[in-house]
Structure 1
């Protein structure tokens, strides 16, 4: 087949025309490095190699872009690349490469993410387990992290913090109390944890 034209497109892509018809779009940098120019003949194997090289470069570029903005788990990074920039195979290879370079580390990500969920978002253990699992974190590491944060007093303080910030008046208004309980359960707290925190809050009020 003959490469009859190559026209730049948005997002760093180049449209290739083969035998006079629009065929495929490839990464512009990959195309330039190939040395191909209009009038050249390509075999199916050469075109396939060009597409693979394009896919791989786009995947790595997307990986670097995503990691520049925030840390990711390996599964999360792979899925984002596969959805927006490259094939699943290229996405997995790019994630492997980022891991080899030390730019991707599931344990480090999981520890930072767990800290954010427990400390800033005030999630309970059940919700934290679910969120970490969704990110593809190994179950053994999740168990380890939850054990590190297993602190009944801290959980009670988190429940009380949520109640004070979002559900003022829950002590007197039954509707607010029901909404608060439902919300806290969505945050990953058991009914027993919620009941204990509310009970302690009532005891503090009586002690004043």
Structure 2
């Protein structure tokens, strides 16, 4: 295997693309080029090639992934995009993500569960909004639906809480014009029409009982 070209990457100047026998093979940093004495015309045996792939590409990518996980949990898709942007090769990234999944450091199902709990505790919203946000993080729709359907998510009660928080005890706000604004607010939070109408009716009924 002969190195036929070494090119600095345009999207990430810290990395260099190494071509073997006229085809792209792997990416390394400048320090790796020096350490392994990589240059055009150099012949790599199979053992040295795999050593570079494992010790340089895989380990560096894995360490980068570990650092990213110290900041916050990531989905598979988020991690892939982060590592790809950092200049690592797709096939190396996939191996790293598989390793992280085996270790339990990346788990899309657990991510969905934690995300739902966090959203409900900090900023209550409906299933539609939660699902949209999770889809934007690259999680498969069937994974989201499965967990949302099994989760004890009381959209109705959450919608009532949001209405009461919005009107701040002033039930006069529940007039026709303001009622429409509240419904639109709940819609933006991801509640469906059935839940919204039931919640609004419940709050209005409570108002009548007090009067």
TM-score for the superposition, normalised by structure 1: 0.68
- Relative distance call for 1:62 and 1:183 in structure 2 (3 A) is farther
Q: Indicate yes or no: 2:40 matched with 1:36.
A: no
Which residue is 2:156 aligned to? 156
Q: Indicate yes or no: 2:182 matched with 1:180.
A: yes
Q: Is the 8 A contact 1:59 1:91 kept in 2?
A: yes
Which residue is 1:171 aligned to? 174
Q: Is the 8 A contact 1:27 1:58 kept in 2?
A: no
After superposing the two structures, state which structure 1 stretch, 161-170 or 56-65, moved more: 161-170
Q: Indicate yes or no: 2:145 matched with 1:143.
A: yes
Which residue is 1:27 aligned to? 29
TM-score for the superposition, normalised by structure 2: 0.68
Give the Cα separation in 2 of the matches to 1:159 and 1:96.
39
- Relative distance call for 1:140 and 1:14 in structure 2 (3 A) is closer
CA deviations on 1:130-172 (whole Å, 9 max, x unpaired) are: 3333334344443332223355xx3122112223334556414
Give the Cα separation in 1 of the matches to 2:176 and 2:189.
21
Give the Cα separation in 1 of the matches to 2:156 and 2:62.
44
Write the mapping of 1:1-208 to structure 2, written as runs, cut at 5 A: 13=14, 26-27=28-29, 30=32, 34-36=35-37, 42-43=42-43, 52=53, 54-149=56-151, 154-166=154-166, 168=168, 170-172=173-175, 174=177, 176-208=178-210
Q: Is the 8 A contact 1:73 1:136 kept in 2?
A: yes
Unmatched segments (≥5 aa) in structure 1: 3-10, 17-24
Partner of 1:206, secondary structure, is: helix
Tell me the C-alpha RMSD between the 2 structures.
3.8
- Relative distance call for 1:85 and 1:64 in structure 2 (3 A) is farther
Q: Is the 8 A contact 1:58 1:85 kept in 2?
A: no
- Relative distance call for 1:167 and 1:173 in structure 2 (3 A) is farther
Aligned residues: 188
